Structure 1
Amino acid sequence: MTKLNICIDIDGTVTEAYDWIDVANEFFGKNLRKEDVVLYEIEKVIGVSREEYDDFYRVYGKLIHSKAPIRDGVIPALESIFKNHSIHFVTARSKDMTSVTYNWMSLYQVPYDSISLLGSHHKVKKAKELNCDIFIEDRYENAIELSKEGFTVILINCLYNQGELPENVIRLENWQQIYYFINQFEKQRSINSSYIFKSKNAFIASA
């Protein structure tokens, strides 16, 4: 068995992707639905300036993160993965979200080896430091940036992350599929220590 280093984003990846809508609707007087969220940049979805959104996030960010629902299937998948592999959460959240992040992980008893709050969407450097084998993301631009550096990326499907994907990025719908993919990847890596995922079509055909 080959032990893998799994890097995982938090917001929209282990949390529900549209957890901010109700608070934003009330604050901005909107009536947004999840079907309206076709862009990653929340301020563009709401129709406000970046400065207005930043003001909103400064007031309500910690509340949103503390109340965020967890995605279906996350805990059983991560508990099984954690038995054999390392789990490292790598998030664009800033350092002032440290307490609320750790508290949320504790609330749901999420297993992990480390949490890195970068304050930036640029995750390549941290992925290299962690010797990442698979990176699980919900932001399209992050997936592309990581893929260009040779990382295997799972992009969990959301309305706001559509687009053409390179061969080393696979779009999956849920954590059951993610767990299956990691198992298949580990089996191939055990057979061939230099294995690099290149054929999402073959994976989809076997799923």
Structure 2
Amino acid sequence: MQKKRFGLDIDGTITDPATFIPYLNQDFKKNLTLNDLTEYDLTSILKISDDDFWEWMGLNEGKIYREAPLAPDAHSIITQWNQNHELIYITARRSHLFDITKSWFSEQNVPYQHIEMVGKHDKIEAIRQHQLDIFFEDKHDNAVAIAEEFQIPVILMDTPYNRLPIPSNVIRTKSWHEAQIWVDSWLKQSIL
């Protein structure tokens, strides 16, 4: 089997998409569930300004990322793919969080060949640089832009905040198990 280059987002993709909710509920006196997060932009859900949100993130993101739980089944599936493929993580996290991120990967025993922290949601140049064959994402507009720019399959991990229409090479999956079934079929077809 030909080695493929898998690109993976971190937050909301390999980590549980509900990771932020307990922190939001505590600090903003809310009672949110994942189903309440129907938009990626949390400022409109929380009814706060961008400045207030980023001030809150600056105070809390290290702790949140340090304690983030893995999405169900992500670890075992990613570990299995790591046996034959390269795993390159491209995240919007800012570079000052690199040590926390790398420690989290080590503590969770999540395999990787490279972690790229682009510090913004636009991941196009990083994906171009790494010449990826497939990408895993939870942010709708990122998934669409990546699929259209590179004509590669993008696995969109289904969440309430990403349910807008998608092009045919964006594959919405409800679980890591469902993603694995699609990817394993894609891998078999690519060697024919």
Using the size of structure 2 for normalisation, the TM-score is 0.96
SS class of match (2:115): strand
User: What is residue 16 of structure 1 aligned with on the other side?
Assistant: 16
Ranges in structure 1 where 5+ consecutive residues have no aligned partner: 192-207
Identity over aligned residues, as a percent?
29
> Is contact 1:81–1:179 with CA below 8 Å preserved after alignment?
no
Cα drift, residue 178 of structure 1: 1.6
Indicate the larger mover: 39-48 or 88-97. 39-48
1:3 matched to 2:3? The reply is yes
Indicate the larger mover: 26-35 or 10-19. 26-35
Cα drift, residue 30 of structure 1: 2.1
Cα drift, residue 140 of structure 1: 0.1
Cα drift, residue 82 of structure 1: 0.5
Cα separation, 1, equivalents of 2:191 and 2:139: 29
Amino acid of the residue matched to residue 84 of structure 1? N
1:83 matched to 2:83? The reply is yes
User: What is residue 170 of structure 1 aligned with on the other side?
Assistant: 171
| 1:110-189 equivalence runs, <5 A | 110-149=110-149, 150-189=151-190
Cα separation, 2, equivalents of 1:61 and 1:168: 32
> Is contact 1:13–1:138 with CA below 8 Å preserved after alignment?
yes
Runs of 4+ in 1 over 6 A off after TM superposition: none
User: What is residue 107 of structure 2 aligned with on the other side?
Assistant: 107
Cα drift, residue 29 of structure 1: 2.1
Cα separation, 2, equivalents of 1:188 and 1:124: 26
SS class of match (1:135): strand
User: What root-mean-square deviation, in Å, do the aligned CA atoms of Structure 1 and Structure 2 show?
Assistant: 1.0
Cα drift, residue 151 of structure 1: 2.3
Amino acid of the residue matched to residue 186 of structure 1? L
Using the size of structure 1 for normalisation, the TM-score is 0.89
Cα drift, residue 134 of structure 1: 0.5
Cα separation, 2, equivalents of 1:179 and 1:46: 34
Name which one, 1 or 2, has greater alpha-carbon Rg: 1
